[in-house]
């Protein structure tokens, strides 16, 4: 039946011992090294030529101002982050407005860039289509002008030519 609080304490101590022995065992085990996969550095996506850059955010505008104010001091990102976090809302709004204005300009520039690039792509696609058409025409013409005598097209054309020549000769004889 109920064995009392002494039994509970013994169980609790046993549990603690087993947990501590598991920790010790885990310390003794060698740590498995992660598989040495050769990590290739991430490649930056290259911006197409002429594409506008995104404007700096309010925080980066603030950082640039602080760095320009005190050129002698080398600012740490942590310090700048704390300063921006503790900055009054009125001053933050100033930087946010600058960001929004530059973002509007960026969006206009990006729209014009996309229009120009889509026009260029249309021209490229048209050129590709023309090139494909001309290649197809060249293949058709090459089959007609083959005259090797070995391929089926040549044999057919030779038979037709021979038949037409024979009929021409018959007409001349009559």
- The tens digit of pLDDT for each residue in 49-103 reads 889 999 999 999 999 999 999 888 888 989 999 999 999 999 999 999 999 999 9
* Assigned token pair, 55: 């404007």
- Domain of residue 82 covers 58-145
Confidence bin at 118 (pLDDT 50/70/90):
confident
- Considering its fold, how many domains does the chain have in total? 1
In a domain, 17, yes or no: no
Do the beta carbons of residue 56 and residue 98 sit within 8 Å? no
In a domain, 125, yes or no: yes
Q: Which residues contact 63 (CB under 8 A, 6 or more apart)?
A: 75, 80, 84
Compute the distance between CA of residue 52 and CA of residue 107 in angstroms, rounded to an integer.
9
In a domain, 127, yes or no: yes
In a domain, 19, yes or no: no
In a domain, 117, yes or no: yes
What are the helix and strand counts (H, E) for the chain? 5, 0
Q: What angle do CA 118, 119, 122 make, to 5 degrees?
A: 85
Compute the distance between CA of residue 84 and CA of residue 133 in angstroms, rounded to an integer.
61
In a domain, 88, yes or no: yes
In a domain, 137, yes or no: yes
Q: Is the pTM of this model over 0.75?
A: no
Mean per-residue pLDDT, 117-130: 69
Confidence bin at 151 (pLDDT 50/70/90):
confident
Mean per-residue pLDDT, 159-168: 63
Compute the distance between CA of residue 173 and CA of residue 17 in angstroms, rounded to an integer.
122
In a domain, 9, yes or no: no
Compute the distance between CA of residue 113 and CA of residue 124 in angstroms, rounded to an integer.
16
Mean per-residue pLDDT, 158-162: 66
- The pLDDT assigned to 46 comes to 84
- The pLDDT assigned to 40 comes to 77
Q: pLDDT by residue (tens digit) across 2-56?
A: 556 677 676 676 666 665 555 555 555 555 555 556 777 888 788 788 899 999 9
């Amino acid at each position: 039946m109920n064995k009392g609080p002494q039994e509970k304490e013994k169980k609790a101590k046993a549990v603690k011992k087993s947990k501590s022995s598991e920790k010790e065992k885990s310390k003794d085990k060698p740590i498995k090294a992660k598989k040495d996969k050769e990590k290739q550095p991430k490649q930056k996506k290259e911006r197409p030529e002429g594409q506008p850059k995104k404007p700096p955010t309010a925080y980066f505008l603030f950082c640039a101002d602080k760095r320009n104010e005190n050129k002698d001091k080398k600012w740490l990102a942590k310090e700048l982050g704390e300063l921006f976090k503790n900055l009054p809302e009125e001053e933050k709004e100033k930087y946010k407005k600058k960001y929004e204005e530059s973002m509007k300009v960026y969006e206009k520039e990006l729209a014009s860039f996309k229009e120009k690039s889509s026009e260029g792509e249309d021209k490229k696609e048209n050129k590709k289509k023309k090139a494909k058409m001309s290649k197809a025409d060249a293949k058709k013409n090459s089959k007609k002008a083959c005259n090797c005598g070995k391929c089926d097209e040549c044999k057919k054309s030779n038979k037709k030519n021979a038949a037409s020549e024979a009929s021409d000769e018959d007409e001349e004889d009559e």
